[in-house]
Amino acid sequence: MKILIIGATGTIGKHVTAALQKDHEVIKAGLKNTDIQVDISSTESIENFYKKAGKFDALICTAGDAQFGPLISMKEADFRIGVNSKLMGQVNLVLIGQHYINPKGSFTLTSGALADDPILMGANISTMNGAINGFVKGAAIELENGVRINAVGPDIVEESSAYFLYFPGHVPVTMSRVTQAYIKSVLGGQTGQIYQVL
């Protein structure tokens, strides 16, 4: 399979890339130091990315920014960061990518446990994650040519120790379990699913 991974050098992306490139053609994408550069907050950049990558069988996105902080000081501009990047960045990857993906291909997006299990200072991220989950369920019944779409929604991962303080009572999930959720989405047959890794 030809698999495009956006965020391939990130905390989660590097593990997913390592697992899939053993048996598949993986094209790594991100803002820098990758096979193809792409800024998912720009539709023009996404269009150029797909033109360079060409037809593909699966796309995984582990990229996307969202603002972390107390609700009392949140402004619309803070939410726009998440809307433009984590939410619409991933939505646009599908809206544009559906015209480049091969029949029976798949999209795998990334949301997160905070969609259903919020934490203090995480309202912004909870909003983006919940919206991504809703998009996946809605898009799954409309994508054509047997194309599938799922999301992986991990809790705090073991390699993000800098954030442990903000997730009291949460048990960090292993990267191997998170990676397997992406593999399940790409190589399995389900669509419209949110694979929560808790």
Specify the CATH number for the domain of residue 170.
Answer: 3.40.50.720
Which contiguous run of DSSP H or E holds residue 26? Answer: strand 25-30
Residue-averaged pLDDT of the chain: 98
**Residues 115-119, mean pLDDT to the nearest whole number:** 98
Q: How many domains does the chain have?
A: 1
Q: What pLDDT sits at residue 96?
A: 98
Q: What pLDDT sits at residue 189?
A: 98
pLDDT in tens, 167-187: 999 999 999 999 999 999 999
First to last CA, the chain: 28
Range of the domain at 79: 2-197
Predicted model pTM? 0.97
**Residues 114-131, mean pLDDT to the nearest whole number:** 98
